[in-house]
């Protein structure tokens, strides 16, 4: 699928009013602020359309709280709002719907994220009280939680672990000529690489190299571990060299983010056109694009990108809500929601904010506790075998790179 990048110099948009593309957004300088009456009418239209997905008429707006004028006055103001690019009339006999510019005005007037309901707050608390184990499993499940809270597709970009220290290292024999290097990091991340040993290696050699490798790497970050020094035994040194190359491969991939996608099937309910759904799903399958998209939004100082604001043509009918995942005050990951431009922004912002904060706390606590315990005199090689079944879904393999989880499955891309 061809990916078109739209370069946007500003973050506010107006709507083109051609018959073929009545709600196509283009960048424009920031408009003059609306008066209180127009603002109230526009907010009423956006709120109603978000809730119903049906064009909104003047009589309905006149009955909305905070408007306080006749339907005739509302009708006149809606025409003015259409001329100014905030609303569009999809059909001559229909009411109006917001343009991207109208949604942007609405979002900018949200003084703070919405508040999750009691059931949603309980779901979040229960999730973080119960989720344990590997970092990847927690992030994968967090993407599902975020999607469940909002009914939109969700994205979790895992923090890089280039500076996270090693808790334990172990070499495991899988067969006469096959081994497995398992590295457990302080934050619970488990890295694995399959090793082609080239010859039969006895358990005594595996144990010897495993013990030396653990003592050498324990308490250091993966890029700092470096190779083992030779000891003069051919088989031992050869295995140490193979394990060292695998560790170097892990170091090369330690800055690359993993992407977990939750609830992609929900996009089918958000859009009527099949091709539109395919375009959005195609973007979510491109991990580098997803990471760049979320980071670009955060780097612009935004929490929400609407329509053309995020710069990716296949997502021109979507809004993206983003919240950072921070450790020690540094943004190292992100959570995001992708849905139609008529998404419930207050709810989406609340969910992304809460899940992002809780992930930040959990990852920060795990790294702090793991780093405090990661001293060269502690730990045992056997700890690394605690990766468990779920770690087998880790798909980096020998070719390090960004990997993605979609729809509850961890897929190698």
DSSP 323-345: EEEEETTEEEEEEEEEEETTS-H
Give the pLDDT score at 127.
95
CATH of 118-160+256-374, one of 3.40.50.2300, 3.40.50.1260, 1.10.8.60, 3.30.450.40: 3.30.450.40
CA angle 195, 199, 200 (to 5 degrees): 95
C-alpha distance from residue 4 to each of 154, 293, 310, 316 (Å): 22, 13, 12, 10
Rounded mean pLDDT for each run of 10 residues along the chain, 413 residues in total? 35 34 38 82 94 92 90 94 94 88 93 84 94 85 95 89 82 86 85 86 88 88 82 87 86 73 83 77 82 88 90 87 87 90 94 94 75 44 34 33 39 35
Both tokens assigned to 17: 């009013």
Query: Which CATH number does 13-108 carry?
Result: 1.10.10.10
Say whether 166-253 and 13-108 share the same fold: no
What span, in angstroms and rounded, lies between the C-alpha atoms of 30 and 11?
Answer: 8
Give the pLDDT score at 394.
32
Residue 353 parent element (H or E): helix 345-373
Q: Which residues contact 175 (CB under 8 A, 6 or more apart)?
A: none
* H-helix segments, 197-286: 203-217, 222-225, 234-253, 267-270, 274-284
Looking at the DSSP assignment, which residues form a beta bridge with residue 321? Answer: 304, 337
- Domain range summary for the chain, segments of one domain joined by +: 13-108, 118-160+256-374, 166-253
Structurally, at CATH architecture level, domain 166-253 sits in 2-Layer Sandwich (3.30)
Rounding to the nearest 10 degrees, give the CA dihedral for residues 211, 212, 216, 220.
Answer: -30
Give the pLDDT score at 392.
30
């Amino acid at each position: 699928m061809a990916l078109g990048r739209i370069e946007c110099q500003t973050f506010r948009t107006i709507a083109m009013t051609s018959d073929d593309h009545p709600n196509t957004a283009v960048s424009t300088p920031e408009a003059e602020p609306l008066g209180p009456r127009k603002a109230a009418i526009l907010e009423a239209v956006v709120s109603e359309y978000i809730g119903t997905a049906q064009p909104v008429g003047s009589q309905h707006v006149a009955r909305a709280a905070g408007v306080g004028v006749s339907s005739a006055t509302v009708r006149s103001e809606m025409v003015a709002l259409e001329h100014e690019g905030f609303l569009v009339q999809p059909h001559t006999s229909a009411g109006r719907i917001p343009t991207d510019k109208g949604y942007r005005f609405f979002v900018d007037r949200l003084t703070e994220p919405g508040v999750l309901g009691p059931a949603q707050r309980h779901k979040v608390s229960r999730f973080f009280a119960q989720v344990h184990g590997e970092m990847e499993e927690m992030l994968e499940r967090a993407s599902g939680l975020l999607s469940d809270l909002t009914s939109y597709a969700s994205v979790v970009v895992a923090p890089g672990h280039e500076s996270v220290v090693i808790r334990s290292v172990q070499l495991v024999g899988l067969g006469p000529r096959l081994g497995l290097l398992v590295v457990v990091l302080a934050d619970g991340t488990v890295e694995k690489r399959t090793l082609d040993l080239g010859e039969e290696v006895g358990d005594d050699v595996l144990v010897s190299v495993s013990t030396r490798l653990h003592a050498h790497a324990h308490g250091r970050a993966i890029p700092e571990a470096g190779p083992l020094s030779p000891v003069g035994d051919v088989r031992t040194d050869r295995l140490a060299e193979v394990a060292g190359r695998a560790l170097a491969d892990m170091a090369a991939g330690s800055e690359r983010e993993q992407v977990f996608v939750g609830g992609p099937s929900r996009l089918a309910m958000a859009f009527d056109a099949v091709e539109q759904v395919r375009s959005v799903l195609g973007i979510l399958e491109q991990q580098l694009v997803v990471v760049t998209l979320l980071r670009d939004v955060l780097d612009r100082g935004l929490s929400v990108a609407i329509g053309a604001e995020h710069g990716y043509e296949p997502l021109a009918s979507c809004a993206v809500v983003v919240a950072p995942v921070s450790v020690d005050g540094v943004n190292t990951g992100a959570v995001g929601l992708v849905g139609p431009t008529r998404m419930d922004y207050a709810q989406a912002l609340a969910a992304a904010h809460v899940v992002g904060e809780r992930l930040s706390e959990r990852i920060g606590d795990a790294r702090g506790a793991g780093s405090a315990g990661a001293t060269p005199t502690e730990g045992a090689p056997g700890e690394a075998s605690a990766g468990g079944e779920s770690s087998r879904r880790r798909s980096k393999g020998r070719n390090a790179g960004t990997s993605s989880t979609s729809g509850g499955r961890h897929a190698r891309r």
